[in-house]
């Protein structure tokens, strides 16, 4: 950490550096260093103003999150810094380059003015950590800009680019070129006066009232703070904000979200032993213009990657191009993308009908039909055509990557890249490491995941990898619950109330019932001793493949809205009778426990087999790929929260019900209980 000061043309420039993100650490002395500089400049004469700047393209990512678990009173040290800045004898301009988030933005809000370069990214993302802006943000922002806009930023954690920040009144100017030189010039030429508070009390009250139905604890606390900003003097509002912030630090929601913040960053690092040296990938060729191929191509051009899409089938590329163009067009219509940027992105996309004539690429991603003989042809061709050193990736979700790698003479360069549909939206990317995949290939794939703004998680090879293998057990329980007395809407409602983004029956209708059908047919041959319920097969036999054909577990008479269907309810009830099961009332608690504990049990097996490297990796897969509630941290985190002995004791109770074979506790769970350990301890040692 380093804070330095220079003076140019009667302007004191205070510059701070604390890699990697200029977090406002108390422990490393940054906050104290900044406070000392502000005091010293205020003691100087012949100064007109102060410029406060970060370094290396970052203003500050906010308070140091890692320090929240230690001494809370330390946060008052940051708050005292912000008050010193606000009370400075000389006006202070925050010169913002790059990220300016959370406490970093609150530091800037305490300044007299804010200017930023085009790369400035500004926001208050505390809510994503289950917190509120606790360094004055809830008090100063609604006094600076429209209170409704201020509230929306705080309630959603949205990050604004420089243009938007200027438009709403956060930035006083956008600087071209060097941020410090630009800030000095702006100070000398703009004639700017300190801002006056723009927000009348009634406006704040109206903005709070309009958003009164928020659900999360952090959101509710944000509303309370902003309400105080409308009625109380600044100092009193700041005191309320500090008190509510400190209370949130211990909330289960914030603890879970902070765990997830760290888990995502840990997951993004290849595990020890496979931490090779990554090399950059500049160009990609995608094979197969089906739904996955098109989604992957969209993700690539959105991330600035030179992309070719190959498909030999008549019309496939035209369809692909149209779909991609209309996806981007929708973004333009919603004003999330400029027409110019749309054109730039589309220009990155090339269509290829003849693989032999395609430009060589750094990465090839196969997204063809899920059939081993088709994959064989593709990988043999790639082995012949791809330049040396290129990565050969398969997007398979069910086939054995080691077998696929065996179709080439370069298995070290073969890796699985399991995207989740829609691939341009879902953040998760399982990076599948085959037995012969080299550490450098894994590292390169993980670095590439970050480049395309996906959350990479390394998985070993097994059927379904981490996510889908666990999901199968979750679905198995959902189907048994249907047989025993529940209806689709009851199962979905229980899990959605618990926090899942979407219940399993709705998920299956959305994904297409036919996908699961083919897996179940395969399983019936491979694992005849682990039968599924016949209910989902019966839907498929009726042609009810889900939303795409207007009927699945639900009816979709107006497109997307799932409506309970009495025909399906009757079919389920009749099926229970046909297999001799007396239906019973099933509680929400049982539904949730059976589905979630099935995830935990299979997760423990996956860990034991070394398919997942850390419990927290499994949690990241579920948070970012399966709509697991962020406030609950992921299935393995949830297992620790409930307590492993309690989880296993419920499993043993479920084993007394029908299909008890599905409730054999994973050996790792029993081992951890015996050692009085838990998944969190495994994370710490991984
Ligand atoms: C707050 O400010 C509360 C205040 O209201 C109260 C004040 C009194 N602290 O994500 P990356 C680390 S709450 C500590 O891979 P990127 C991160 O762990 C805070 N460490 O890079 C990683 O370390 P490692 C509100 C932090 O380029 C490394 O930096 N602020 C912090 O993809 C690189 O991170 C936020 O919520 C931090 N605040 O993204 C912002 N931030 O290499 C949180 C990052 O050891 N941060 N690290 O794993 C972000 O959103 C992204 O990290 C950022 C960079 C966009 C900054």
CA 444 to mean position of chain CA atoms: 21
Nearest residue (CA) to ligand 1, atom 4: 103
Residue with tokens 């604390």: 18
Q: How far does residue 269's CA lie from ligand 1's centre (Å)? A: 16
The per-residue pLDDT for 81 is: 97
Dist. CA 225 → ligand 1 center (Å): 24
Res 197 pLDDT > 80: no
Quick check: pTM over 0.80?
A: yes
What are 670's two structure tokens?
Answer: 């029993």
Q: Is 123 in the pocket of ligand 1 (CB under 6 A)?
A: no
Q: How far is the CA of 23 from the centre of ligand 1 (A)?
A: 7
The mean pLDDT of 276-301, rounded to a whole number, is 94
**C-alpha to C-alpha distances, 278 to 157, 270, 436, 503, 581, nearest whole angstrom:** 32, 10, 17, 38, 56
Q: Using one digit for the tens of pLDDT, what is the confidence trace for 28-47? A: 999 999 999 999 999 999 99
Q: What is the pLDDT of residue 686?
A: 78
Nearest atom (ligand 1) to Cα of 128: 36
User: Residue 106 Cα, ligand 1 centroid: separation in angstroms?
Assistant: 15
- Judged against a pLDDT cut of 80, whether residue 276 lies above it is answered with no
Distance 619 CA to ligand 1 centre (A): 19
Query: What tokens appear for 139 in the block?
Result: 């008090």
Please list, in sequence order, all residues whose beta carbon lies within 8 angstroms of the beta carbon of residue 572, skipping any fewer than 6 positions away. Answer: 482, 483, 487, 488, 535
Topology adopted by domain 467-685:
1.10.1040
Separation of CA 588 and ligand 1 centre (Å): 37
Does the beta carbon of 134 sit less than 6 angstroms from any atom of ligand 1?
A: yes
Average pLDDT over residues 374-403: 95
Instruction: Specify the ligand 1 atom closest to the Cα of 265.
Output: 48
Distance in angstroms (rounded) separating the CA atoms of residues 44 and 509: 69
Q: Of the listed 37, 106, 473, 590, which one is catalytic?
A: 106
The answer to whether 475 and 519 have CB atoms below 8 angstroms apart is: no
Atom of ligand 1 nearest to the CA of 82: 8
**For residue 684, what pLDDT band results from cuts at 50, 70 and 90?**
confident
For 122-153, what is each residue's pLDDT tens digit?
Answer: 999 999 999 999 999 999 999 999 999 999 99
Burial of 70 (0-12, 13-18, 19+ CB in 10 A): exposed
- DSSP 3-state assignment of 392? strand
pLDDT at 195 over 90: no
Mean pLDDT of 640-662: 95
Contacts by residues 398-401 (CB-CB < 8 Å, ≥ 24 positions apart) = 398/370, 398/463, 398/464, 398/468, 398/519, 398/522, 399/370, 399/372, 399/375, 400/461, 400/463, 401/432, 401/434, 401/437, 401/461
Atom of ligand 1 nearest to the CA of 78: 8
Query: Residue 251 CB: number of other CB atoms within 10 A?
Result: 17
* Average pLDDT value for residue range 328-334: 94
**pLDDT on residue 74:** 78
Nearest CA to ligand 1 atom 54: 21
If one compares 531 and 587, the residue with the highest pLDDT of the two is 587
Count H helices and E strands in the chain, helices first. 29, 20
- CB of 75 within 6 A of ligand 1: the answer is yes
pLDDT digits (tens, 9 = 90+) for 405-425: 999 999 999 999 999 989 999
The predicted structure's pLDDT at residue 511:
87
Nearest atom in ligand 1 to 62's CA: 2
Find the mean pLDDT for residues 380-403. Answer: 95
Domain map of the chain by residue range? 2-191+198-256, 283-459, 467-685
Active-site annotation holds for 541: no
Please spell the DSSP secondary structure of 420-474, one letter per residue: -SSTTT--EEEEE--TT--HHHHHHHHHHHHHTT-EEEEE-SSTTHHHHHHHHHH
What is the structure's pLDDT at 198?
65
Residue nearest to atom 25 of ligand 1 (CA): 102
* First CA to last CA distance, the chain: 29
Mutation to probe ligand 1, out of 65, 72, 106 (largest number of atoms < 8 A from CB)? 65
Does 103 sit in the ligand 1 pocket, CB within 6 Å? yes
The answer to whether 283-459 and 467-685 have equal CATH topology is: no
Please report the pLDDT score of residue 475 as a whole number: 96
Scan for tokens 């004639």, then name that residue. Answer: 191
Centre a 10 Å sphere on the Cβ of residue 388 and count the other Cβ atoms it contains.
7
Q: What is the pLDDT of residue 587?
A: 97
Best residue among 22, 35, 61 to mutate for probing ligand 1's pocket (most ligand atoms within 8 Å of CB) is 61
Query: Which CATH homologous superfamily contains domain 283-459?
Result: NAD(P)-binding Rossmann-like Domain (3.40.50.720)
For ligand 1, whether the C-beta of 126 sits within 6 Å is yes
Query: Do the Cβ atoms of 155 and 127 come closer than 8 Å?
Result: yes
Question: Using CB atoms within 10 A of its CB, is residue 515 exposed (0-12), middle (13-18) or buried (19+)?
Answer: middle
Whole-number Cα distances in Å, 386 to 309, 313, 451? 15, 21, 22
Cα dist from 19 to 28, 29, 367, whole Å: 11, 13, 39
Q: How many angstroms separate the alpha carbon of residue 268 from the centre of ligand 1? A: 14
> Which residue has the CA at smallest separation from atom 6 of ligand 1?
134
Q: How far apart, in whole angstroms, are the C-alpha atoms of residue 147 and residue 211?
A: 11
List 459's β-bridge partners, or say none: 432, 612
Q: Which of 37, 67, 126, 483 is catalytic?
A: 126
According to the model, what pLDDT value does residue 448 have? 96
Asked if residue 542 has its Cβ within 6 Å of ligand 1, the reply is no
Indicate which atom in ligand 1 lies nearest the CA of residue 133.
5
Ligand 1 center to 57 CA (angstroms): 14
pLDDT digits (tens, 9 = 90+) for 581-620: 999 999 999 999 999 999 999 999 999 999 999 999 999 9
pLDDT on residue 137:
98
Report residue 467's pLDDT band, with 50, 70 and 90 as the boundaries. very high
- Closest to 234 measured CA to CA, from 127, 111, 94, 86: 86
pLDDT of amino acid 202: 81
Note the pLDDT of residue 472: 94
Tell me the average pLDDT across 362-384: 95
Which residue, among 76, 110, 82, has the nearest Cα to 94 in the 3D structure? 110
CA distance 596 to 395: 27
Residues 6+ apart with CB under 8 A from 256: 130, 630, 631, 632, 633, 637
Site to probe by mutation for ligand 1, drawn from 1, 17, 18, 20 as the one with most ligand atoms within 8 Å of Cβ, is 20
SS3 category, 14 = strand
pLDDT of residue 233: 93
In this predicted structure, the answer to whether residue 379 has a pLDDT above a threshold of 70 is: yes
CA distances from 684 to 85, 251, 259, 266, 617 (A): 39, 22, 12, 11, 12
User: Ligand 1, closest atom to CA 132?
Assistant: 5
On whether the CB atoms of residues 625 and 426 are closer than 8 A, the answer is yes
Instruction: Report, as an integer, the average pLDDT of 564-571.
Output: 96
97 lines ligand 1 (CB under 6 A): no
Q: Does ligand 1 come within 6 angstroms of the Cβ of 624? A: no
Active site residue 126: yes
User: Does the Cβ of 265 fall within 6 Å of ligand 1?
Assistant: yes
Whether pLDDT at 566 is above 80: yes
Say if ligand 1 is within 6 A of residue 79 CB. Answer: yes
* Phi, psi (deg, nearest 5) at residue 338: -85, 160
- Answer yes or no: are the C-beta atoms of 427 and 405 closer than 8 Å: no
Q: What's the confidence (pLDDT) of residue 199?
A: 61
Q: How far apart are CA 9 and CA 12, in angstroms?
A: 8
Q: What is the pLDDT of residue 200?
A: 66
ipTM above 0.95 for this complex: yes
* Alpha carbon separation from 587 to 227, 495, 594, 642, 657 (Å, rounded): 39, 12, 11, 18, 14
Which residue's alpha carbon is at the smallest distance from atom 9 of ligand 1?
64
| Superfamily (CATH H level) for 2-191+198-256 | 2-enoyl-CoA Hydratase; Chain A, domain 1 (3.90.226.10)
Whether 4 shows a pLDDT value over 90: the answer reads yes
Average pLDDT, the chain: 94
* In the predicted structure, residue 274 carries a pLDDT above the cut 70: no
**What is the DSSP secondary-structure string of 218-265?**
HHHHHHHHHHHHHHS-HHHHHHHHHHHHHHHHTSHHHHHHHHHHHHHH
Distance CA 292, CA 323 (A): 12
Summarised one tens digit per residue, pLDDT across range 205-260 is 889 999 888 889 999 999 999 999 999 999 999 999 999 999 999 999 999 999 99
pLDDT for residue 685: 83
Q: How many Cα atoms sit within 13 Å of 480 on the Cβ side?
A: 23
Least confident stretch, 82-96, 159-173, 513-527: 513-527
How far is it, in rounded angstroms, from Cα 392 to Cα 407? 11
Mutate which of 1, 21, 126, 129 for ligand 1? The one with the most ligand atoms within 8 Å of its CB, which is 21
């Amino acid at each position: 950490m380093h804070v330095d000061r220079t003076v140019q043309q009667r302007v004191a420039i205070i510059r701070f550096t604390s890699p990697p993100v200029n977090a406002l650490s108390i422990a490393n002395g940054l906050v104290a260093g900044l406070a000392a500089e502000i005091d010293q400049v205020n003691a100087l004469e012949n100064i007109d103003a102060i410029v406060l700047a970060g370094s290396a393209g970052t203003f500050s990512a906010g308070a140091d999150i890692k320090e929240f678990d230690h001494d809370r009173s330390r946060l008052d040290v940051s708050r005292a810094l912000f008050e010193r800045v606000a009370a400075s004898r000389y006006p202070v301009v925050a010169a913002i380059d790059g990220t300016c988030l959370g406490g970093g933005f609150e530091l800037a809000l305490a300044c007299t003015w804010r200017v930023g370069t085009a790369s400035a990214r500004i926001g208050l993302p505390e809510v994503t950590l289950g917190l509120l802006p606790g360094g004055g943000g809830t008090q100063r922002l609604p006094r600076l800009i429209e209170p409704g806009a201020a509230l929306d930023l705080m309630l959603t954690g949205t990050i604004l680019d420089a243009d938007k920040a200027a438009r709403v009144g956060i930035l006083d100017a956008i600087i071209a070129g060097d941020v410090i030189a630009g800030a000095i010039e702006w100070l000398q030429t703009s004639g700017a006066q300190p801002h006056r508070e723009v927000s009348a009390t009634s406006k704040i009250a109206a903005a709070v009232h309009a958003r009164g139905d928020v659900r999360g604890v952090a959101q509710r606390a944000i509303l309370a703070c902003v309400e105080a900003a409308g009625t109380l003097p600044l100092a009193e509002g700041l005191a309320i904000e500090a008190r509510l912030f400190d209370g949130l630090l211990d909330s289960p929601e914030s603890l879970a979200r902070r765990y997830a913040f760290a888990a995502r960053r840990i997951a993004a690092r290849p595990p020890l032993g496979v931490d090779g040296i990554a090399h950059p990938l500049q160009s990609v060729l995608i094979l197969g213009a089906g739904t996955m191929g098109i989604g992957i191509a969209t993700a690539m051009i959105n991330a600035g990657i030179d992309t070719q899409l190959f498909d030999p089938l008549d019309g496939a590329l035209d369809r692909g191009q149209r779909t991609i163009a209309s996806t981007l067009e929708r973004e333009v219509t919603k004003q999330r993308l400029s027409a110019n940027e749309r054109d730039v992105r589309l220009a990155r996309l090339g269509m290829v009908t003849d693989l032999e004539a395609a430009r060589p690429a750094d990465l090839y991603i196969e997204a063809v039909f899920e059939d081993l003989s088709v994959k064989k042809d593709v990988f043999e061709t790639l082995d012949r055509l791809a330049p040396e050193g290129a990565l050969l990736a398969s997007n398979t979700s069910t086939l054995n990557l080691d077998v696929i790698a065996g179709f080439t003479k370069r298995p070290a360069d073969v890796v699985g890249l399991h995207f989740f549909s829609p691939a341009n939206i879902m953040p998760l990317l399982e990076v599948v490491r085959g037995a012969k995949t080299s550490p450098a290939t894994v590292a390169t794939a993980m670095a590439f995941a970050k480049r395309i703004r996906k959350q990479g998680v390394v998985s070993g090879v097994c059927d379904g990898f981490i996510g889908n293998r666990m999901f199968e057990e979750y679905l198995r329980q959902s189907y048994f619950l249907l047989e025993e007395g529940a209806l689709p809407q009851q199962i979905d409602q229980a899990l959605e109330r618990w926090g899942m983004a979407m219940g399993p029956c709705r998920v299956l209708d959305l994904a297409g019932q036919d996908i699961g059908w083919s897996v179940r047919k395969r399983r019936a041959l491979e694992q005849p001793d682990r039968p599924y319920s016949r209910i989902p097969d019966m839907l498929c036999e009726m042609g009810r493949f889900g939303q795409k054909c207007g009927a699945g577990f639900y009816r979709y008479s107006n497109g997307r809205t799932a409506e309970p269907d009495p025909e399906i309810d009757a079919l389920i009830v009749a099926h229970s009778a046909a297999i001799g099961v007396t239906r019973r009332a099933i509680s929400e608690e049982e539904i949730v426990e059976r589905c979630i504990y099935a995830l935990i049990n299979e997760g423990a097996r996956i860990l034991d087999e070394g398919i997942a490297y850390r419990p927290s990796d499994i949690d990241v897969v579920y948070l970012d790929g399966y709509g697991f509630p962020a406030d609950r941290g992921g299935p393995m985190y949830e297992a620790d929260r409930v307590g492993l002995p309690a989880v296993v004791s419920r499993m043993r109770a479920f084993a007394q019900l029908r299909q008890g074979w599905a409730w054999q506790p994973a050996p790792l769970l029993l081992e951890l209980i015996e050692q009085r350990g838990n998944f969190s301890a495994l994370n710490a040692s991984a």
